[in-house]
A and B are shown apart, each in its own frame.
Chain A
Amino acid sequence: MSPTPEELEFFAGQEELEIMPRFDCPTMWLISGDLGPFKAGIPNKVPLWIALHLRAQNKCKIIPPPWLSKAYLEQLKELEIKSPLFTKMPSEHYMAMAKMIFEVCPQDIPDADCVKLLIKDIWDSRMSKLRTAVLTFIDKGASWAKVDNLTQLEMCSIRPFFTHSLEQLHRFRKTIQVARLYSAGNSSEEVRRRLRM
């Protein structure tokens, strides 16, 4: 079954980014690795889930990743719209990360409204490409396709429709194949053997 957006957010939480701590703290020995030591005013790299946890308590400010900026995203949007293929995203979890950061601390992102809109435009462009690609895939009757640079959240959004249609098509074709084999005089055993891939 497909992971839910909440589950994908959970995974996105592991992505690292920088924070500006407002506290001092010796090294933290976490299971996922050592963190710190932290000194107020000195930037530090932490997983997103920790950054948001600390930010919610006002213990730090989030330093936006380089790609979460108006300039970068404007360029990325250009690239995405111009290219027939999917461009490589700055992070596998770009959408979830943006969402999570905006939920907790939009004030830490310069030009927040603009950045939000740019992310949405990029997402919409990719989803539109994906829908077209899916229809072409089904039309051509392909049984596999390369989809480099698609992110997981995008796959999850399209998965229910896509995989269901493909399965149905596959079943139809299999039925035709069975009928052909039988009418060519094959026995049930032979048919089963041939189709047991």
Chain B
Amino acid sequence: MAGQFERMDTENGTGGSASPDTFGRSDEEAEETVTMTPRELLTKLHTAWMNERLAPDLLPPQIEEIECMLELLRNMEVNTAKLEKKDIRLGVHKMEVDRIRYLISSYLRIRLAKIQEYCWDLQTKENTRNSQAPSLMSPEEQKFLKEYIENLESHLKNMGTQHMPRTMQALQPQTMSTSSNLDSFLFLRVSQDSSIIVDDADGREEEVSLEAGSQHIIRYRPVAKLVPSGSVDLV
């Protein structure tokens, strides 16, 4: 029974087997293939979670990695269903699946909360972005945002602005929306030597070099652009 399980695992080529697996993108798009072990994928998702949790604004989505991992989880659940009830591995596998599913759910929830909170601001960003530039949201998140705003605005109009004097009926969402506070202070861990310009509140600028391995307290705005590339991690 145990031997059978192991064989099935390697056959499928999924799950943390000894050899790395290839998670290639579809060949329809001429993109480079990303080779990553499941373990590396999991580490990437952990980092993505932490960054998204701490960043005041919405970060670029890691949707492909999420979808990849969800598929791994599905395969894992299929495989472990074949184990005997008293098999010690069953509990361990189940707990790992629960942990990863929690990680993914939490990540997506954090993003949804930001999308709802900064909805109009994000919509403006989305409408004004260059078609070449990548969106901050996945296509499904964009759809969610659109429907969410439609729902909000139709309600606010029906219950509010429609009953107001003629010239005051424009909703003006920009007066209601909040945009993320880029001036909040954060803790930062530097993974690659970088250098940034920090202005203090008195307007003086100073160049700060961030050495790999160091940690800092700093305002988000000067370092925001370094987060997506991974030169710094929010802590």
B91 pairs with A3, CB closer than 8 A:
no
Proximity string of chain B (67-78) to chain A, C-beta cutoff 8 Å, 1 when within and 0 when not: 001001100100
Contact A30/B187 with A59-B88, A170-B201 known, Cβ cut-off 8 Å = no
Contact A27/B6 with A32-B39, A144-B219, A169-B201 known, Cβ cut-off 8 Å = yes
**Partner pick for A33 among B16, B186, B201, B213, CB 8 A cutoff:** B16
Q: Which among B26-34, B95-103, B119-127, B169-177 touches the partner chain?
A: B95-103
Q: Which among A74-82, A103-111, A155-163 touches the partner chain?
A: A155-163
Query: How far, in angstroms, from A195 to B205 measured CA to CA in the complex?
Result: 12
Q: Which residue of A lies closest to B114 (CB)?
A: A1
Q: Which residue of A lies closest to B205 (CB)?
A: A197
Contact A145/B95 with A3-B50, A32-B16, A59-B88 known, Cβ cut-off 8 Å = no
Interface SS majority for chain A: mixed
- The answer to the question of B203 belonging to the interface, with a C-beta cut-off of 8 Å to chain A, is yes
Q: What total of chain A residues lie within 8 Å of the partner, measured CB to CB? A: 55
Q: List chain A residues, Cβ under 8 A from B16.
A: 29-34
Q: Which residue of B lies closest to A1 (CB)?
A: B53
Query: How far, in angstroms, from A146 to B188 measured CA to CA in the complex?
Result: 9
Sort chain B's interface into a size bin.
Answer: 35 or more
Q: Which residue of A lies closest to B189 (CB)?
A: A152
- The answer to the question of B202 belonging to the interface, with a C-beta cut-off of 8 Å to chain A, is yes
Quote the shortest CB–CB distance from A64 to chain B (angstroms).
Answer: 21
**Partner pick for A177 among B103, B181, B203, CB 8 A cutoff:** B203
Q: List chain A residues, Cβ under 8 A from B96.
A: 30-32
Residues on B lying within 8 angstroms of A by beta carbon are 2, 6, 9, 15-18, 38-39, 42, 46, 50, 53-54, 69, 72-73, 76, 88-89, 91-93, 95-96, 99-100, 102-103, 106, 181, 183-187, 198-203, 208, 213-219, 221-222, 235
Residues on A lying within 8 angstroms of B by beta carbon are 1-3, 7, 10-11, 13-14, 23, 25-35, 49-50, 53-54, 57, 59, 137, 141-150, 152, 155, 159, 162-163, 166-167, 169-174, 176-177, 194-195, 197
Q: A54-B88, A145-B216, A163-B186 are in contact. List 16 more A-B contacts (CB 8 A).
A: A3-B53, A10-B103, A11-B50, A23-B88, A29-B16, A31-B38, A31-B69, A34-B18, A144-B208, A144-B217, A146-B215, A147-B215, A155-B235, A163-B185, A171-B183, A173-B202
